[in-house]
């Protein structure tokens, strides 16, 4: 392995089955890797700039924004640096003094930090708690009413986590959006773990904004990128242009993500459009893994059942029992997995952990479950 400035080569996706949920949807296809390579120099995407990244035709960014808006069932979109920047853009555009917002009890920290940056208090819904951690439309209703009493006005925005990163629960976004709209509250769907993996249509779900994470769920490397898709009704409140520089959207300071990740996003898009059509296979994989682990005993599921997503969170008393008398303690599990060519679980964890089967073949999924079971049987 060559070392430059102490930085080794990273050989993870090439050598292992990586089951870290954070990374399975951002694995970059070979063609995209090649495309990135020739666009890595600073501002390379600005060779044919016409004043704003979103109007660039070489590479075809303008066309991409149109296509991706349609793909998400929305009317327009902004390229952002990630899902968090997309959320922050909406909060910043809509909220003024004394406003507050509502979010679900499984919300990602970046939702809360984005609100905090804007001085906007957040009221969170409850969840059903251990073990399913479900979020229901009625919980949004309750939180909106509770917050409205407390603040003397309805929330300026509802941020709904479509799929949370801890349990992989898929919420009933359509019903939640309808409850929020009944209170006159616009809805931002945080689709960091959904759009790009599974079909998501803002029009079908009836949401006003969709925040996407491209490095998480759109098969891109080469940097950070996200998307903020907006519907017609809110377009002009979000995509506002500078008075002095009328081609520059204010919320993204003119141009946001402006490196090889934009090229990656465009070149992975055909792959993403194709893969969302096979979402049922991903769900079937997750369900088969869960049923085989539960049948074996010593494992239980966190989050809702049946699985509707590739993130699988399990409690693993079987491994915890092994850790209590293994000389490597909790580290035995990551080591045993690695020796079988599997990485992506936090080393040392044996009480519960999460993993993802996204993008693996039937054989690879079988191999992952068999490895989990074999490690248990080896010591018990």
Ligand X SMILES: *Cc1c(COP(=O)(O)O)cnc(C)c1O
Binding to ligand X by residue 194, rule CB under 6 A? no
Q: What is the DSSP string of 314-339?
A: EE-HHHHHHHHH-TTTTHHHHHHHHH
Please report whether residue 24 would count as binding ligand X according to CB under 6 A: no
Q: How far is the CB of 154 from ligand X (least distance, A)?
A: 24
Beta strand 226-230 pairing with 209-213: antiparallel
218 makes contact with ligand X (CB under 6 A):
no
For residues 266 and 322, which CB has a smaller minimum distance to ligand X in the complex? 266
**Residues pairing with 124 in the sheet:** 103
Measured from the CB atom, the residue of 108 and 197 that comes closer to ligand X is 108
32 binds ligand X (CB under 6 A): no
124 binds ligand X (CB under 6 A): no
Residue 125 touching ligand X (CB under 6 A): no
Residue 82 sits in the site that holds ligand X (CB under 6 A): yes
* Interface pick for ligand X out of 52, 76, 89, 190 (rule CB under 6 A): 190
Based on CB atoms, which residue is closest to ligand X, 73 or 196?
A: 196
Nearer to ligand X, 54 or 215 (CB): 215
Q: Specify the length of the chain in residues.
A: 380
Check residue 316 for interaction with ligand X (CB under 6 A): no
HSE-up of residue 93 (Cα within 13 Å, Cβ side): 24
For position 260 contacting ligand X by CB under 6 A, the verdict is no
In the 8-state DSSP scheme, what is residue 343?
Answer: E
Tell me, letter by letter, the H, E, C secondary structure of 70-105. Answer: HHCCCCEEEEECCHHHHHHHHHHHHCCCCCCEEECC
From CA 268, how far away is CA 69, in angstroms rounded? 16
Of 67-75, 81-89, 120-128, 360-368, the segment contacting ligand X by CB under 6 A is 81-89
| CA 39 – CA 222 distance, rounded (Å) | 9
Under rule CB under 6 A, residue 108 binds ligand X: yes
Query: Which of residues 83 and 94 has its CB atom nearest to ligand X in the complex?
Result: 83
Question: Does 257 contact ligand X by CB under 6 A?
Answer: no
Contact letters for ligand X, residues 152-181 (x by CB under 6 A): ---------x--xx----------------
Q: Residue 110 to residues 1, 106, 115, 247, 311: CA-CA distances in angstroms? A: 35, 12, 8, 29, 19
Q: Minimum distance from CB of 131 to ligand X (Å)? A: 20
The answer to whether residue 84 forms part of the interface with ligand X (CB under 6 A) is yes
CA nearest neighbour of 28 among 266, 252, 338: 266
The answer to the question of residue 91 lying near ligand X (CB under 6 A) is no
Complex with ligand X: residue 26 or 330, whichever CB lies closer: 26
CB within 8 A of 189, min separation 6: which ones? 160, 162, 173, 177, 200, 202, 205, 207, 209, 210, 211
Contacts of 261 (CB under 8 A, 6+ apart): 36, 214, 215, 220, 221, 222, 223, 224, 225
Q: Which of 54, 216, 285, 354 binds ligand X (CB under 6 A)?
A: 216
The torsion angle over the Cα atoms of residues 11, 16, 19 and 24, rounded to 10 degrees, is: 50
Of 110, 125, 127, 316, the one binding ligand X by CB under 6 A: 110
Nearest distance from C-beta of residue 106 to ligand X, angstroms: 8
- From 64-72, 126-134, 186-194, 286-294, give the range in contact with ligand X by CB under 6 A: 186-194
Q: How many residues bind ligand X (CB under 6 A)?
A: 14
> What are the CA-CA distances from residue 14 to residues 2, 89, 331, 350 (Å)?
16, 36, 23, 26
**Binding interface with ligand X (CB under 6 A):** 82-84, 108, 110, 161, 164-165, 190, 192-193, 213, 216, 226
């Amino acid at each position: 392995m060559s070392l430059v400035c102490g930085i080794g080569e990273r050989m993870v996706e090439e050598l292992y089955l990586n089951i870290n949920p954070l990374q399975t949807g951002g694995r970059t296809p070979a063609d995209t890797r090649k495309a990135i390579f020739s666009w890595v120099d600073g501002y390379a995407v600005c060779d044919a700039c016409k004043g704003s990244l979103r109007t660039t035709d070489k590479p075809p960014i303008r066309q991409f924004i149109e296509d991706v808006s349609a793909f998400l069932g929305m009317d327009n979109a902004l390229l952002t640096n990630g899902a968090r920047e997309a959320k922050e853009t909406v909060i910043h555009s809509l909220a003024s003094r004394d406003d507050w917002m509502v979010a679900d009890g499984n919300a990602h920290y970046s939702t809360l930090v984005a609100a905090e940056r804007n001085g906007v208090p957040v009221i969170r819904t409850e969840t059903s708690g251990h073990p399913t951690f479900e979020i229901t439309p009625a919980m949004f209703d309750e939180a909106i009413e509770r917050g409205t009493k407390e603040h003397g006005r309805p929330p300026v925005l509802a941020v709904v986590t479509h799929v949370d990163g801890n349990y992989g629960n898929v919420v009933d976004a359509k019903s939640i959006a309808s409850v929020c709209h009944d209170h006159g509250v616009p809805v931002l769907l945080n689709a960091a773990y959904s759009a790009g993996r599974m079909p998501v249509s803002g029009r079908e779900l009836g949401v006003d904004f969709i925040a996407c994470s491209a490095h998480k769920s759109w098969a891109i490397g080469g940097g950070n990128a996200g998307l903020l898709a907006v519907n017609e009704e809110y377009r002009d409140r979000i995509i506002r242009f500078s008075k002095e520089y009328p081609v520059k959207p204010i919320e993204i300071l003119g141009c946001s993500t402006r490196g090889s990740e934009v090229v990656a996003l465009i070149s992975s898009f055909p792959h993403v459009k194709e893969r969302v059509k096979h979402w049922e296979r991903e769900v079937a994989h997750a369900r088969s893994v869960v049923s085989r682990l539960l049948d074996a005993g010593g494992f239980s599921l966190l989050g809702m059942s049946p699985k509707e997503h590739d993130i699988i969170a399990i409690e693993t008393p079987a491994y915890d029992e092994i850790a209590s008398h293994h000389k490597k303690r909790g580290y035995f599990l990551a080591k045993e997995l690695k020796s079988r060519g599997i990485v992506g679980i936090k080393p040392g964890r044996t009480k519960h952990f999460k993993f993802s089967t996204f993008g693996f073949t039937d054989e690879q999924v079988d191999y992952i479950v068999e490895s989990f079971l074999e490690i248990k049987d080896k010591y018990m």
